[in-house]
Structure 1
Amino acid sequence: MKLGLQLGYWGAQPPQGTGELVAAAEESGFDAVFAAEAWGSDAFTPLAWWGRETSRVRLGTSIVQMSGRTPASIAMHTLTLDHLSGGRVVLGMGVSGPQVVEGWYGQPFSKPLARTREVVSIVRQVLAREAPVTNDGPHHPLPYRGEGATGLGKPLKPIVHPLRADVPIWLGAEGPKNVAQTAEIADGWIPIFYTPRSAAMYQPWLDEGFAREGARRTRADFEIAATCHLQVVRDAAEKAQVLDAMRPFVSLYMGGMGAKEANFHNQVFVRMGYEDLAREVQELYLGGEKDKATALIPDELVDDMHIIGTAGEVRERVAQWEETGVTTLMLSCRSPEEVRAVAELLA
């Protein structure tokens, strides 16, 4: 199992010390560095900026929001960065949610699975550069022939010859249909809240996708890149403090992300067996009682979602994650020293 450094997306200001983190990951044997985007910083620019000082680590987006750019634009960003990095890009994409897609990007959210399939098809056509790019689907028609069209649009191939036709495409997916489609059309999967305890829930969905006619990968060469917080502690008392510190993040995703009618993260917890808890946490959180919502999150859930323990316990837990099929652990590290310590512990 490989290690990835998750840089995430920026807060109110650009983060400090990121260049040193990336350098430590490169030196310590991490396989990849990932950047994210929400409705602030984008995912490609940080990889271009900090990745220029690296020569080995893969540069991944986790994730690019598909509604933020046309499929051809996503492919152009990927093509460009892949050339600049010498063929080290991993393109991670996802549909986000209706609040962001319609509220921030001004795009319709309907039919997210069909949209995803079209985006992946167009990106692959651009990178293959075998013929002018076309798409007959209703969501991203190429050439465009809809309202306001001049009728002058023509299929094109990229001017630049892509460095690789097979840039890995990983998809963020949460629900059964989306996970199955990901196994069918993508090279990898970026799950959220994937844990050893919940891993069995996903296996039939993945198997359904692998079994479809024309599936791109098999379980043997399909990547699963799971995100968690990893921290070595001295004893049970310190572990309890770390669990307390992580609890607000769980309640945020369970109760405060997305609209009440469409919180896909909340639905993941429901599928994990926390239906009553997820409903109560969401009601409290959306009602402004965030502290009460956070207090309801049990230690066992936080512990299952992350890898926290003594050095020996961490090694055992990492092995458990690997046994479930995880090929990359995406970790958020706070300092170069932490990056190096994690790499040494798991070498």
Structure 2
Amino acid sequence: MKLGLQLGYWGAQPPANARELIAAAEAEGFDAVFAAESWGSDAFTPLAWWGSATQRVRLGTSVAQISARTPTSCAMHALTLDHLNGGRTILGLGVSGPQVVEGWYGQPFAKPLARTREYVSIVRQVLARQAPVTSDGPHYPLPYAGGNATGLGKPLKPITHPLRAGIPVWLGAEGPKNIALTAEIADGWLAIYYSPRLAPMYNEWLDEGFARAGARRSRADFEVAATCQVVVTEDRAGEIARLKPVTALYVGGMGAPELNFHAQVYRRMGYGDVVDEVTALFRSGQKDAAAAAIPDEMVTETMIIGDAAQVRDDVKRWEDSGVTMLLVTCHDPEHVSQLANLVPPR
């Protein structure tokens, strides 16, 4: 099992100890460091700034939102970062959700799978630099020939030669069709709310993608990076209670009530009635009651919580289910060291 340090996206201010966390992660043998974006800080700049002090760890976006940049712009970001860090970039992409895509980026959310497929295809064309980049669209036509076009656009190749044509592209995916698409066109899956209990279901979706004509990878060389809180504690019940408000927020308060992808994941786990109750409570302002309605197993389904022995056993269980990397959040360098000692780097 590999470990990836998930820095996430910034709150009101940049995190105060990110540089120390990254240094500790590299020193302790973590495989990668990731940054995310929502509608504040971006995913690429922190990796360039803080990553400049690293030598070995891979630097990945988890995730960069595809509506935030055109595919050619995203490829420019990736190839630039890859040159700066000497070939250690992972380009993690995701569609986000309709509230962000339409409310923040001012773009339609419709057809997310088709948009993703077209987006990744264009990114790969840029990085391959074998010919001028073209796309028939319909989402990202190149050259643009739609309304108000001058007719002067022409296909271009990047001026800068990418350091690596094969910068790995990982996709954040939650639903069956998106996970199958990920296995077909990507190099890795960024899984959120992964449950080892449901591994047979995930594997069925992944295998569908691997079996498609032209699939890029096979199970043998495909990475599954699962976001997972790993908490080492002698007070398991107390930690579970502390994490219930976070679960309630994502299940009941994130996204639109009509379309919450996180809630859909928990419905697939069998918690449909709980999701309905938590959503109703959270949306009515009863956040404490929403947290209280979360059963313990709904927390431990997607997180690893317990003493050192239990954490080791659970990490093995996640690895046996097909996960190749745990994306963990750490509060301080000591936490980084603690997890590294429990999950020795391979």
Q: Structure 1 length normalisation: TM-score?
A: 0.98
Shift of 1:148: 1.1
1:283 to 280, 283, 290: 280
What is the identity, as a one-letter code, of the residue corresponding to 1:14? Answer: P
Tell me the residue number matched to 2:75.
75
What is the identity, as a one-letter code, of the residue corresponding to 2:272? Answer: E
CA distance in 2, matches of 1:85, 1:146: 38
Q: Could you give the per-residue CA deviations for residues 148-190 of structure 1, whole angstroms, max 9, x where no partner exists?
A: 1101000000000000000000000111111111110000001
Tell me the residue number matched to 2:270.
273
CA distance in 1, matches of 2:303, 2:173: 19
Asked if 1:206 is matched to 2:206, the reply is yes
What is the SS of the residue equivalent to 2:196? Answer: coil
CA distance in 2, matches of 1:341, 1:265: 29
What is the identity, as a one-letter code, of the residue corresponding to 2:290? Answer: A
CA distance in 1, matches of 2:309, 2:281: 38
Tell me the residue number matched to 2:187.
187
The 5-angstrom pairing of residues 227-238 of structure 1 reads 227-234=227-234, 238=235
CA distance in 2, matches of 1:267, 1:231: 25
Tell me the residue number matched to 1:40.
40
Q: Could you give the per-residue CA deviations for residues 220-264 of structure 1, whole angstroms, max 9, x where no partner exists?
A: 111100011111112xxx111111111111111111111111111
Asked if 1:2 is matched to 2:2, the reply is yes
What is the identity, as a one-letter code, of the residue corresponding to 1:22? Answer: I
Tell me the residue number matched to 2:62.
62
CA distance in 2, matches of 1:161, 1:137: 25
Shift of 1:200: 2.2
Tell me the residue number matched to 2:310.
313
Shift of 1:284: 1.3
Asked if 1:334 is matched to 2:344, the reply is no
Tell me the residue number matched to 2:98.
98
What is the identity, as a one-letter code, of the residue corresponding to 1:327? Answer: T
CA distance in 2, matches of 1:288, 1:266: 18
Tell me the residue number matched to 2:237.
240
What is the SS of the residue equivalent to 2:157? Answer: coil
Tell me the residue number matched to 1:175.
175
Shift of 1:332: 0.3
Q: Could you give the per-residue CA deviations for residues 80-138 of structure 1, whole angstroms, max 9, x where no partner exists?
A: 00000000000000000000000000011011000000110000000000000000020
Asked if 1:113 is matched to 2:110, the reply is no
Shift of 1:345: 2.0
Shift of 1:12: 0.8
Asked if 1:160 is matched to 2:143, the reply is no
Asked if 1:256 is matched to 2:283, the reply is no
Give the number of equivalent residue pairs.
Answer: 344
What is the SS of the residue equivalent to 2:53? Answer: coil
CA distance in 2, matches of 1:164, 1:245: 43
What is the SS of the residue equivalent to 1:209? Answer: helix
CA distance in 1, matches of 2:129, 2:267: 43
CA distance in 2, matches of 1:45, 1:191: 23
Asked if 1:16 is matched to 2:9, the reply is no
CA distance in 1, matches of 2:157, 2:99: 34
CA distance in 2, matches of 1:2, 1:68: 29
Shift of 1:293: 1.0
| Aligned-residue RMSD, C-alpha | 0.7
What is the identity, as a one-letter code, of the residue corresponding to 2:279? Answer: Q
What is the SS of the residue equivalent to 2:143? Answer: coil
Asked if 1:343 is matched to 2:340, the reply is yes
Higher mean C-alpha deviation, range 87-96 or range 289-298: 289-298
CA distance in 1, matches of 2:92, 2:77: 12
What is the identity, as a one-letter code, of the residue corresponding to 1:174? Answer: E
- What runs of 5+ residues in structure 2 fail to find an aligned partner? none
CA distance in 2, matches of 1:93, 1:53: 24
Shift of 1:201: 2.0
What is the SS of the residue equivalent to 1:130? Answer: coil
CA distance in 1, matches of 2:247, 2:199: 18
What is the identity, as a one-letter code, of the residue corresponding to 1:280? Answer: E
What is the identity, as a one-letter code, of the residue corresponding to 2:66? Answer: M
Tell me the residue number matched to 1:139.
139
What is the SS of the residue equivalent to 2:197? Answer: coil
Q: Structure 2 length normalisation: TM-score?
A: 0.98
CA distance in 2, matches of 1:225, 1:338: 20
What is the identity, as a one-letter code, of the residue corresponding to 1:242? Answer: E
- What runs of 5+ residues in structure 1 fail to find an aligned partner? none
CA distance in 1, matches of 2:148, 2:241: 55
